[in-house]
Amino acid sequence: MAAVNPWWAAAYLLASGTAGLLLCAGLLVAATAAGLLAVLLIGLPLLAALALVGVPYAAWERRLLRLLDSTSVPGPHLVPSRPGLPAWLRLRYREQATWRELGFVVLAAFVLWPVDLVVAGCALAVPGCLLAALPLLLLDGEQVNVLKLFQVHSPLLAALLGLVGLLLLPLPAYPLTAVAVGRAALVRLVLGQGGQERRIGELVSSRARLVDAFEAERRRIERDLHDGAQQRLVALTMALGLARLDAPPGGPLADRLAEAQLAAGEVLAEIRELINGIHPQVLTDRGLPDACADAADRSPVPVEVGFDLPGRLPPPVESAGYFAVSEALANVAKHSGARAARIHGRYTGGLLTIEVADDGRGGADPAGGTGLTGLADRVAVVDGTLTVSSPPGGPTLLRVEIPCTQIKP
């Protein structure tokens, strides 16, 4: 930490001490009310809420550190995997950081605030009272009580006391800044990110970067195949067709050209399937509903498609949702024996939900080589979850849930 200005140190201790005093009073009132109401069971939610009082107070303490140092202290809390208050509460009650912050609240409310106010008060009050002796005596005209310890009647003595106060003014700066720096170090140690939390944060950030880089690379490969190899194959197929027109009909050359044109057409179809498997252009241009409808059109099993989305979703979310639907339709065609399937997607409360149902024989098992394990891993990359209900005899319902807060109109 850089050199701390004594005046900012005093402001820091006064602010933290005042906040601690108010916190102490609030905790005593809330704890008393919760204890009295616990008999009626009304106080139990209040007691549970008191366990989370450290979350906002710790955030205030971390912001207060900027009086001493401009370097911000990142919070130790993780982002819930799902939006909404229930998911937030479940995560906060499980985190160690929540209980560390609660312990700091108890320390700040009953131990730290008196130290903060006493140190700041003594450092500012003693020199201030000595400096104010002469002005107060001149205003009163008779006497002035200095530090409530003795009375001064002489202007000369009051002036000498003011001089002493001026000389003493720099001396409390050292203990004042030492206490402020020590308290700030305690806040950083207890309320900042621990080693494990920092590693988790770094892993989350690196995973997000990898997902973005992976999606960008998929799009680049798709674009290169679409604009390069596919266009050349189309040109080759057309050239072979024109060559067949110039070849003598019924001859061996015409037969060889026909076989070459057929092979080129098959390779072109495989290239198109490969492009769809990498990243379909319809997903980039028109979004998830149209991409899923395109996948349903190519399915040998009749599929009903319905989506209720307010707009475009983030690209990684759309990509994960599309490939989940594609893998599910592939399983329906290969393993289920279904006569019909249904795809339904909706976005409510910050959560994208996609359901793929079929009327097949059921019995889908992730260990059976149906691709469900890999599909779950793909969805987990964007913090999503995959659930499968497939009792023997059917029907099968696959549900994908992906939290996402950013919606593009």
Residue 370 has pLDDT above 60, yes or no: no
Q: Is the pLDDT higher at 20 or at 349?
A: 20
Look at residue 344 in the predicted model and tell me its pLDDT: 93
- Rounded CA-CA distance 352/405 in Å is 10
Look at residue 343 in the predicted model and tell me its pLDDT: 92
Q: Map out the domains of the chain as residue ranges.
A: 6-191, 209-278, 282-403
User: Per-residue pLDDT averaged across 130-147, rounded?
Assistant: 63
Residues 83-105 pLDDT 10s:
677 878 888 888 888 888 889 99
Q: Is the pLDDT higher at 211 or at 69?
A: 69
User: Per-residue pLDDT averaged across 96-116, rounded?
Assistant: 89
Q: Is the pLDDT higher at 66 or at 131?
A: 66
User: Per-residue pLDDT averaged across 175-180, rounded?
Assistant: 84
Residues 182-216 pLDDT 10s:
888 888 888 876 655 555 555 555 555 555 655 66
User: Per-residue pLDDT averaged across 100-116, rounded?
Assistant: 89
Look at residue 199 in the predicted model and tell me its pLDDT: 56
User: Per-residue pLDDT averaged across 355-374, rounded?
Assistant: 74
Q: Is the pLDDT higher at 27 or at 136?
A: 27
Q: Is the pLDDT higher at 61 or at 43?
A: 61
What's the chain's average pLDDT? Answer: 77
Among 185-189, 220-224, 334-338, 359-363, the range scoring the smallest mean pLDDT is: 220-224
Look at residue 77 in the predicted model and tell me its pLDDT: 76
Look at residue 319 in the predicted model and tell me its pLDDT: 84
- Rounded CA-CA distance 331/370 in Å is 6
Show the tokens assigned to 45.
């939610």
- Rounded CA-CA distance 338/395 in Å is 9
Residue 408 has pLDDT above 70, yes or no: no
Please give the class, per CATH, of domain 282-403: alpha beta
Among 61-65, 178-182, 276-280, 335-339, the range scoring the smallest mean pLDDT is: 276-280
Residues 301-314 pLDDT 10s:
899 999 988 888 88
Look at residue 342 in the predicted model and tell me its pLDDT: 92
At 145, give phi and psi (nearest 5°).
Answer: -90, 120
